[in-house]
């Protein structure tokens, strides 16, 4: 960890809000990206990003300075996401906002590889256990060790879930591809 | 094993999402449909759980998981039917089912016979109905229109569930309905539950009476 | 489709989504700082008047109201409550059972399917769970067979003839 980041954290621990603001500036996109990838909904991702920084600040005294700050912060975010997806009975209901796949504007879609839309829909249908490792790897670029730490699972499990998750996506893409082929040759 | 049981087992296995995919509403329908219940029962149970999902009282995964636990519980079909109908009908009547689902899961986990669990669920459902009526009398209802009277569903559900739980626990501990402690116990629980906002608490603290609660508690006592 | 193509698709899709929605992040530092300032400036034990005064109060109700106020004062300030962790969003289950070979907790928060606690060096078992506000019934399961209440529960209730433990998570005003 860079010395300046360590100093920022130490200042934040001393209630220096400016230091925490700087940390947020550094990490907000990453936290948002992870939340968006997992929750599949911009409004909820925004709420979660805010909550993550609030909770991380409240728990900052529990963060072990010897470990990677990003991993610790991402763990806070991932747990919030997991909770939100999990139990309707016990959580504030997710905002009835639109899922990314329905909310992507046509111009943007036109400019992208159309298979990205299939990937979006498939990601929506994946369980948290398979979605989260994919997001952490392919959005946040974490290695297996860090993913394991963020999710609180063994590294071996991370590899298995990444593999099975990708297999499932491939399956969807092939099905979509087949349908697309049929449409074109019909 | 007869053909029906084999088919049922296969149906459940087939309807299990392959671990990777989250359950869908269609999976829930299929699972309900695969149970050896009369068609009208299947319709009611499915309608109830779908409504519960749409109302936000259950996630799809929760509904599917719960139905799977019932389906694989190995209990007599009559008892499973009783439990499923009690919960489905409650959902169709816009009642919170958290207490019912929790009690079923607890019963299954503790290894209790499902006929005991079924009896308990039927009884508790009646309490929920009475508590809901009492809350409504005091102005605590679910808001139906954006600017209309009432409170958020989660708040009202929590108030009903907590009050019903307190009354049930009181009677089931062997205490008497008229011992004068119900109001205190109920308000304490409501006040401690973070899902019950101060607005709902104020409404009830100002209007709920010991006699109101004693009446419901007496009815519980007569049912047990 | 080969592996590299799929990796690229995933990366592309996830990154494009963030690019499209990142405007939501504008000013988030300010919002968070404001929220934190409010939290830390609120006096920990300010009693809140939760009930509208009523003209005709029976003595019994007045007594209850006073009791409620006291309870409110005690609970309203969540700092220092031994059972919450880092700010009223979870439960820490802690129990000293040095003789046990396994301790698990089963309750409303996990469909009553027992989840294992971790054993500390001093024979104290613990588990921290991130939970949303609410009321949770549960029991400890010792050595896979004995279901017991928690000495550190907020409350106890009867269920199926057994004694269940209860814990509350969250404070007023977090949900509407």
Q: Where are the domains of chain B?
A: 1-93, 113-224
Chain B interface mutation, best of C71, C83, C158, C174, highest count of B Cβ atoms under 10 Å: C158
CA pair distance B20, A125, nearest whole angstrom: 9
Chain C interface mutation, best of A17, A61, A162, A167, highest count of C Cβ atoms under 10 Å: A17
Contacts of residue C171 in chain B, CB cutoff 8 Å?
194
Same domain as A166, residue A84: no
Same domain as A7, residue A92: yes
Same domain as A112, residue A89: no
Contact C12 A112 (CB under 8 A): yes
CA closest to A102 among chain C residues? C17
Of A24, A50, A120, the CB nearest to C13: A120
pTM of whole model > 0.90? no
Domains and CATH numbers, chain C: 3-41 (no CATH), 90-169 (2.60.40.10)
Categorise residue C133: left if φ over 0, alpha if ψ from -120 to 50, beta otherwise. beta
Contacts of residue A88 in chain B, CB cutoff 8 Å?
56-59, 62
CA closest to B59 among chain A residues? A88
Q: What pLDDT, in 10s, does the model give residues A90-123?
A: 444 455 456 777 777 777 777 777 888 889 989 9
Q: What pLDDT, in 10s, does the model give residues C60-110?
A: 444 454 444 444 333 333 332 222 333 446 788 999 999 999 999 999 988
Same domain as A135, residue A83: no
Contacts of residue C16 in chain A, CB cutoff 8 Å?
108, 112, 116
Of A32, A54, A112, the CB nearest to C25: A32
Q: Quick one: which H or E segment has residue C169?
A: strand C162-169
Closest CA of chain C from B207, distance in Å: 9
The four Cα atoms B2, B7, B12, B13 give a dihedral, to 10 degrees, of 100
Out of A52, A70, A97, a domain closes at A97
Out of A97, A126, A144, a domain closes at A97
pLDDT higher for A130 or C128? A130
Q: Residue A75 sits in which domain range?
A: 1-97
Q: What is the CATH number of the domain that holds A42?
A: 1.10.1740.10
Same domain as A185, residue A124: yes
Of C88, C135, C159, the CB nearest to B193: C135
Q: For a pLDDT cut of 70, what percent of chain B falls above it?
A: 92
Contacts of residue B155 in chain C, CB cutoff 8 Å?
175-176
Contact C51 B201 (CB under 8 A): yes
Same domain as A107, residue A93: no
Q: How confident is the model at residue A3 (pLDDT cuts 50, 70, 90)?
A: low
Of C75, C111, C175, the CB nearest to B192: C75
Contact C89 A55 (CB under 8 A): yes
Do the Cβ atoms of B88 and B28 come closer than 8 Å? no
Report the range of poorest mean pLDDT among A25-29, B52-56, C89-93. Answer: C89-93
Report the range of poorest mean pLDDT among A5-14, A101-110, B6-15, C85-94. Answer: B6-15
pLDDT higher for A160 or B56? A160
Confidence at residue A44, expressed as pLDDT on a 0 to 100 scale:
87
Contacts of residue B101 in chain A, CB cutoff 8 Å?
89
Same domain as A24, residue A88: yes
Name the 3-class secondary structure at A98: coil
What is the secondary structure of C75-122 as a DSSP string? HH--TT-TT--TTTSEEEEEEE-TT-S-EEEEEGGGTT--EEPEEPTT
Do the Cβ atoms of C12 and A23 come closer than 8 Å? no
Across B20-152, the runs of DSSP E, i.e. the strands, are none
Closest CA of chain B from C85, distance in Å: 15
Q: How confident is the model at residue A41 (pLDDT cuts 50, 70, 90)?
A: confident
Angle at B217 between CA B153 and CA B116, to 5 degrees: 85
Tell me which residue has tokens 């029991």: C139
Q: How many CB pairs below 8 A link B and C?
A: 117
Q: What is the mean pLDDT of residues B68-72?
A: 94
Q: How confident is the model at residue C132 (pLDDT cuts 50, 70, 90)?
A: confident
Do the Cβ atoms of B122 and B167 come closer than 8 Å? no
Same domain as A185, residue A131: yes
Q: How confident is the model at residue C38 (pLDDT cuts 50, 70, 90)?
A: confident
Contacts of residue A58 in chain C, CB cutoff 8 Å?
39, 86-87
Whether chain C has a CB inside 8 Å of the CB on A153: the answer is no
Same domain as A150, residue A106: yes
Confidence at residue A176, expressed as pLDDT on a 0 to 100 scale:
77
Same domain as A74, residue A60: yes
What is the secondary structure of C120-163 as a DSSP string? PTTSEEEEEEE--SEEEEEEEEETTTEEE--TT-SEEEEETTEE
Q: How many domains does chain A have?
A: 2
Tell me which residue has tokens 């839309």: A117
Give backbone dihedrals phi and psi of B86, rounded to 5 degrees, phi first. -60, -45
The four Cα atoms B46, B48, B50, B56 give a dihedral, to 10 degrees, of -160
Contact A164 B19 (CB under 8 A): yes
Q: What is the mean pLDDT of residues B149-172?
A: 95
Contact A46 C11 (CB under 8 A): no
ipTM of the complex: 0.88
Same domain as A126, residue A162: yes
Contact A127 B21 (CB under 8 A): yes
Confidence at residue A2, expressed as pLDDT on a 0 to 100 scale:
57
């Amino acid at each position: 960890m860079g010395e300046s980041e360590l100093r920022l954290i130490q200042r934040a621990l001393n209630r220096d809000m400016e230091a925490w603001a700087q940390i947020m500036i550094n990490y907000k996109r990453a936290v948002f990206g992870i939340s968006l990838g997992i929750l599949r909904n911009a409004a909820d991702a925004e709420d979660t990003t805010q909550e993550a920084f609030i909770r991380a600040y409240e728990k900052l005294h529990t963060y072990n300075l010897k470990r990677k700050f990003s991993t610790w912060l991402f763990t806070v975010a991932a747990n919030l996401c997991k909770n939100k997806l999990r139990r309707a009975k016990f959580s504030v209901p997710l905002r009835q906002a639109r899922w990314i796949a329905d909310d992507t504007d046509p111009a943007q879609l036109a400019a992208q590889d159309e298979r990205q839309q299939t990937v979006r829909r498939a990601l929506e249908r994946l369980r948290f256990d398979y979605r989260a490792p994919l997001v952490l790897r392919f959005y946040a670029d974490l290695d297996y060790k860090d993913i394991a730490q963020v999710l609180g699972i063994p590294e071996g499990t991370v590899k298995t879930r990444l593999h099975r998750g990708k297999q499932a996506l491939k399956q969807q893409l092939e099905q979509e591809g087949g349908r697309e082929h049929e449409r074109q040759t019909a | 094993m007869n053909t029906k049981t084999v088919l049922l087992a296969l149906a459940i296995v087939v309807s299990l999402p392959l671990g990777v995919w989250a359950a869908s509403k269609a999976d829930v329908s299929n699972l309900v449909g695969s149970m050896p219940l009369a068609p009208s029962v299947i319709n009611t149970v499915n309608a109830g759980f779908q409504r519960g999902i749409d109302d936000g009282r259950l996630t799809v995964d929760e509904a599917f998981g719960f139905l799977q636990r019932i389906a694989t519980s190995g209990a007599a079909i009559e008892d499973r039917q009783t439990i499923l109908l009690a919960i489905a009908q409650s959902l169709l009547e816009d009642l919170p089912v958290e207490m019912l689902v929790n009690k079923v899961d607890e019963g299954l986990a503790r290894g209790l016979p499902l006929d005991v669990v079924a009896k308990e669920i039927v009884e508790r459902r009646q309490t929920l109905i009475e508590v809901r009526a009492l809350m409504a009398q005091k102005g605590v209802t679910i808001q139906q229109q954006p600017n209309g009277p009432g409170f958020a569903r989660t708040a009202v559900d929590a108030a009903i569930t907590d009050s019903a739980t307190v009354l049930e626990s009181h009677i089931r501990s062997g205490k008497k309905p008229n011992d004068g402690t119900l109001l205190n116990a109920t308000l304490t629980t409501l006040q401690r539950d973070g899902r019950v906002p101060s607005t709902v608490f104020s409404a009830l603290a100002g209007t709920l009476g010991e006699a109101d609660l004693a009446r419901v508690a007496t009815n519980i006592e007569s049912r047990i | 489709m080969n592996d590299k193509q799929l990796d690229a698709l995933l990366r592309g899709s996830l990154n494009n989504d963030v690019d499209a929605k990142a405007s939501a992040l504008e000013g988030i530092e300010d919002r968070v700082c404001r929220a934190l300032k409010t939290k830390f400036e609120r006096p920990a034990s300010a009693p809140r008047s939760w009930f509208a005064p009523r003209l005709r109060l029976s003595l019994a109700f007045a007594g209850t109201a006073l009791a409620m106020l006291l309870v409110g004062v005690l609970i309203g300030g969540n700092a220092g409550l031994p059972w919450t962790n880092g700010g009223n969003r979870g439960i820490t289950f802690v129990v000293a059972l040095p003789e046990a070979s396994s301790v698990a907790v089963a309750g409303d928060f996990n469909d009553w399917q027992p989840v294992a606690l971790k054993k500390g060096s001093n024979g104290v078992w613990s588990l921290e769970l991130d939970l949303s506000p609410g009321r949770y019934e549960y029991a400890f399961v010792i050595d896979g067979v004995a279901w017991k209440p928690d000495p550190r529960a907020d409350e106890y209730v009867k269920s199926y003839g057994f004694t269940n433990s209860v814990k509350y998570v969250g404070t007023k005003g977090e949900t509407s």
